[in-house]
Each structure stands twice: as structure tokens, then as C-alpha cells.
Amino acid sequence: MAKSVRVSAKPSPNPVHTDGDGNHIHNLILLRLPLQERELISPKLELVRLKTHQVLHEPGDTLKSAYFCNTGLISILSVFPDGKSVEVGLIGKEGFVGVPLVAGFRTSATRAVTQIEATAFRMDGETLVALLRQCPHLERLLQQFSQLMAMQVTQIAACNRLHEVNERLARWLLMSADRVASNSLPLTQELIAQMLGTRRSSVTVAAGMLHKAGLIDHRRGGVEIIDRPGLEDAACDCYALMQRQTKQWQDA
Ligand SMILES: [Zn+2]
């Protein structure tokens, strides 16, 4: 069970960046809400710590909770009956886990698992569904995030099929770094291989190429991005395409 801290209903001293208990809000969906809606939903939120490898839900599970990711990194995986899995989405502070609830669905089609130790504001799934009727801005922001996730899933599916491991690794490192706002990623090659749905030996070779080119430093237990523009050049087109589409929608 995730360790939780109850978020109180008392008015926030800083209505923009903290909740009622002084916890810093980094989640971009919560930060974009008008104050009136924030005050409505704050009493229903609970800040929880999510350990690395903690599974939030499996395919077919009822979505008892929704999570507004506040720090850290959460992966969305497609899982097969033989146990194999591949990552199809990445969620950080910009996002939310529980997208089917926004459309009125109660179960999940995917696995959500913490990749880098995270904190999230958790809300009961049924409570969220009920609140959406009273909070049109929240509903709109979650619909927009659902669309961004659909775009990301589509692009990653194409990427996994069409692009080389070293390009995909560069794309994946950039996406992860964006979501945790850090160039230092505490992720092992074993884990990266699982996420990319490829052999660990292929990731070792690809990481070696990026290291040799001076783009990353990889050591036991982690990867450091050294040359970000260089890594963007080394990534497949998918990273730039997703960035461009996201910006276009956000500017619209
Ligand atoms: Zn790609």
C-alpha cells in the first residue's frame, strides 16, 4: 500500500502552488485549474508516495483510484498473456493515471507502474467521475491529456516497430528527462530494455554508442544526459513529432 498523507480541506495559504497541508503542487493539470475548482477537489485529494516498481493497476483492474502525478515517472505498459510487456506511454508531472475514467469507463486496459519513485495526488475513482460534472475545467484538461496520451501511444507503437534501438533509446531518455525535469535518470539498463521491449544486450550496445558519442554517461544504476541537443539529433523523428504536436495543441 502507498504511504499516504491526508490533504486537509482548509484554505491554502498559497492558492497557486501548495495544497492545504503545504505540499507543493507540481502537477500541471492541478496547477491549471481555476481556484474555485481547486477548492472543490482539494479535500478529495490525498498525497501518496509511490515506490519504484509499484503497480498502480493491471489490465482488467477496476480503477479504484486516479493519480495526478506530482513528481517521478510512471510507465503505461501493454501486457501480453505470456507475461511479456512493452511500454506505450510515459507520465510525469504533466499527467494523470486513470484516463478511462474520464470517458466513463471503470476498468483499465493497461498496466501502470512507477519507474522512478514518485509522489501523486490520489483521488477515489468514483469521486473523480462525480466531480467531473461540477468541474468543467478539470474535465476539459483531462480530456486534453487523454488526447495527448492517445497521440503518444500511437507514436510509440509506430516507433517500436520502425526505429532502431539506439534512436528509440535516445527518444526514451529525452521523454523521461522531460517528465522528471532532470538529466539524471536512476534507471538500470535492464529496466530500459524492458520498457523498450528489447534485449538487454541491444540496450547495452545502444547505450555504448550514445556514450561514445559523448551524449550520455551510463553507470551502474543510472544514466546521465550530458549533451541534450546531441541526444535530440540522435533520437528518431518521434521525439520531435510528439513535441511539435503537443506544443501545437497547447498553443491552440
Ligand atoms: Zn521513433
Query: Which residues in 32-136 belong to E strands, given as ranges?
Result: 46-50, 55-57, 65-79, 85-91, 96-97, 111-124
Alpha carbon of 250 to ligand 1 centroid (Å) = 22
Alpha carbon of 153 to ligand 1 centroid (Å) = 12
Alpha carbon of 76 to ligand 1 centroid (Å) = 17
Residue 62 and residue 106 in contact, taking contact as beta carbons nearer than 8 Å: yes
Helix axes 165-180, 200-212, angle to 10 degrees: 80
Alpha carbon of 173 to ligand 1 centroid (Å) = 12
Q: Is 29 exposed, middle or buried (0-12, 13-18, 19+ CB in 10 A)?
A: buried
Alpha carbon of 233 to ligand 1 centroid (Å) = 12
pLDDT digits (tens), the chain, 252 positions: 444 444 333 344 444 577 777 789 999 999 999 999 999 999 999 999 999 999 999 999 999 999 999 999 999 999 999 988 888 899 999 999 999 999 999 999 999 999 999 999 999 999 999 999 999 999 999 999 999 999 999 999 899 889 999 999 999 999 999 999 999 999 888 888 888 888 999 999 999 999 999 999 987 779 999 999 999 999 999 999 999 999 999 887
Max Cα-Cα span within the chain: 54
Q: What is the pTM of this model?
A: 0.89
Alpha carbon of 162 to ligand 1 centroid (Å) = 7
CA 247 to CA 252: how far, in whole Å? 8
Q: Look at the chain and count its residues.
A: 252
Task: Please give the pLDDT value at position 194.
Answer: 85
Residue 108 and residue 64 in contact, taking contact as beta carbons nearer than 8 Å: no
Alpha carbon of 110 to ligand 1 centroid (Å) = 21
Alpha carbon of 148 to ligand 1 centroid (Å) = 17
Q: Which three cell numbers stand for residue 206?
A: 545502444
- Helix (H) and strand (E) counts for the chain? 10, 10
CA dihedral 247, 167, 181, 6 (to 10 degrees): 90
Task: Please give the pLDDT value at position 20.
Answer: 73
Q: For residue 183, what is the DSSP state?
A: S
Alpha carbon of 115 to ligand 1 centroid (Å) = 21
